[in-house]
Amino acid sequence: MHKKVTLSFLILIACTSLTTCPPISAEPRPLSKSELIALAAGEALPENIVAEIRNHGVNFSPDDAYRALLKEAGADASVLAALNSAKIGAGENTSSEAGAEFLQHLSNAGKLIRAEQYDDAASEVSAALTNDFEKSATGYVMGWILIKQQNLEKAFQVYSELQKRDPDFPQVDTRLSFLYINAGDSDDALREAKKALERNSNDPSAHLNAGVALQQMNNADGAKSEFQKAIQCKPDYVGAYSDLGGLLDDMHDYDGAIAQFKKALALKPDDANTLYNLGVTYGDKGDYDSAIRAYREVKRLDPSKLEARQNLGAALMHKDPAAAITELRELAAVAPDWPLCHQCLAIAYSRTGRPEEAEKEYAVAIKADPANPELYTGLGVVKETEKKYDAALADYRQAEEIDGNFAGAHNGAGRVLIQTRHYTDAIAELKRAEDIDPSDWSSFDLHGEALEASGDRNAAIPTSAFARTEGTSGAPGPGASTRKEGRLGRCAGPLSPGGTGRNATQARNSRKPLRCERQIPTGAREIPETFGCFARCGKIC
């Protein structure tokens, strides 16, 4: 309880007490003692701290005691070297016992942040506030503690107030761009990143944030350029390689994506999120053996990462369905209330000729997620393979009722209606499926079949010809819509900004929805599969 009270008090002070702040100047002011320690304690990238020192100097003469505090706060050798050669500008504050005590609290906070003792770090910053000295620096460090605790809304309040009261404080624009990305506000994120780059054109974090904002705005070329600039500014930037890999995957440059993920892993071999994303890209490429190896390594590193275990089961469905069932059963025991797990287990049962068990798993998934049309469509597929056409049609209709724009349900309904010789109704369903998802050539193929069966052969010929053309030109296969077979997409990983990676300036946006592996039942007609099971995972490095 004491920690929560301290934290709430600190947030209040940080947001309301920045009453005596320097005015905006044409050129950024030299760094003060408190500002420099705050940057180190708040885990700004060393490259950015060095740039601030070299570009704007400091307003004090550092002594050995100060260097010791700065090092304890988190400054590395490059920052200390830059300080030793820094130009000394005007405006040095007179040292006092209160000032020395304040700096000690900030330094202690930085050490505790690196040890992930965030409540204790907040207490140190709170103690610094009692001196009523240098509120901007405390706000910067406090905002970072809130980010590390994943309290992003309050962190945004702190940094917004800090920017308003002290717009010349370094790295605030970069932090705000990160927070805007997490809030899904790509326009403001890009604006803040550009402001940061006006101050320091070689800010790796700002380039990375700009890249993610542009990616969220569907500007792939612009995003790629910004990620590459981030790497140029910081060649060991794990987050930049990972983000560039994710972008290249989305652009279907799978080999390029794999190369970037491997560069990230060379710098940080035990990064479970990057390994996870590498596995997804291998799955996208169709290299399921490599995907399986990647997911098994993620499972070893982080057994609690359920998405990796889910994707492992999905990849195994391509190589060893029995092993997939074993993996997914194990996952179901760990996460019994996760609908996706039961959905994928149902498909694995269906693929191995166990429809009754598949129906049971779908029932569990539907109970947990009754508003998901894919579950009813998958259940319909199982019943269709058993030639339970009326029951299958009822499931497809239920999926349509939940989401009238779900192409798979219309495709399935049309397919069953052909089987039951209700050709007019089938034609209407398949035309609707074509309109919703023109990339799915199976709807055109089935539409042509229904037209021919109804006696309209002249209309059937061009429709079927289109399906054959699309089906051999790299378009998705039957029922695939535009989703990758056997994939879930990236998942949003736990927030861990800063440190050796992305320094709280970048969030991995969730790229693709969680889906379950598609299934193809046996039979004369290939029935569209229910939809993919890989999750793309990302994080803030």
**Residue 507 domain flag:** no
Distance CA 175, CA 306 (A): 30
Give yes or no for residue 354 having a pLDDT over 50.
yes
Mean pLDDT for all residues in the chain: 82
Q: Give the Cα separation of 479 and 400 in Å (integer).
A: 15
**Residue span of the structural domain in which 121 resides:** 2-170
Q: Is residue 329 part of a domain?
A: no
Q: Which of 526 and 122 is assigned the larger pLDDT?
A: 122
Distance CA 489, CA 101 (A): 50
H/E element holding 538?
strand 534-538
Which pTM was predicted? Answer: 0.79
Does residue 115 sit within a domain?
A: yes
Integer Cα distance of 443 and 429 in angstroms: 9
SS3 488: strand
Is residue 211 a contact partner of residue 226, using CB atoms and an 8 Å limit?
Answer: yes
Residue 50, pLDDT above cutoff 80: yes
Using one digit for the tens of pLDDT, what is the confidence trace for 460-469? Answer: 555 555 555 5
Compute the distance between CA of residue 223 and CA of residue 229 in angstroms, rounded to an integer. 10
**Structural domain count of the chain:** 1
- Phi and psi at 537, nearest 5°, equal -115, 145
Residue 503: pLDDT over 90: no
Per-residue pLDDT of 314-338, as tens digits, reads 999 999 989 999 999 999 999 899 8
pLDDT higher than threshold 90 for residue 130: no
Query: Is 316 inside any structural domain?
Result: no
6-37: per-residue pLDDT in tens? 455 455 555 554 444 444 455 789 999 999 99
39 within domain boundaries: yes
Candidates 225, 259, 219; CA nearest to 242 is 259
Question: Is 512 part of any domain?
Answer: no
pLDDT at 184: 93
CA distance 342 to 361: 5
Closest CA to 16 of 142, 146, 185, 144: 142
Contact between 286 and 299 (Cβ < 8 Å): no
Distance, in Å, from the CA atom of 395 to the CA atom of 195, rounded to the nearest integer, reads 53
Q: What is the DSSP string of 64-95?
A: HHHHHHHHHHT--HHHHHHHHTPPB-S-PPPP
pLDDT tens string 67-88 = 999 999 999 999 999 999 999 9
What is the sign, positive or negative, of the torsion defined by CA atoms of 203, 206, 208, 214? negative
Predicted pLDDT of residue 462: 56
Share of the chain above pLDDT 70, in %: 77
> What is the structure's pLDDT at 131?
53
Tokens representing 355 are 């429809």
Residue 104: its pLDDT value, please? 95
pLDDT score at 89: 82
Contact 260, 248 (CB under 8 A): yes
- Is residue 128 very low, low, confident or very high in pLDDT (cuts 50, 70, 90)? confident
- Residue 465, number of CB atoms within 10 A of its CB: 13
Task: Please give the pLDDT value at position 464.
Answer: 52
Q: Please report whether residue 510 resides in a domain.
A: no
Residue 378 is predicted with a pLDDT of: 95
- Bridge partners of 534? 488
Query: 523: Cβ–Cβ under 8 A, 6 or more apart, which residues?
Result: 385
CA neighbor of 444 nearest in space, from 412, 474, 468: 468
Confidence label for 265 from pLDDT (cuts 50, 70 and 90): very high
Residue 473 lies in a domain: no
Neighbour tally for 184: CB within 10 Å: 10
- Give residue-wise pLDDT tens across range 401-460: 999 999 999 999 999 999 999 999 999 999 999 999 998 889 999 999 999 888 766 655
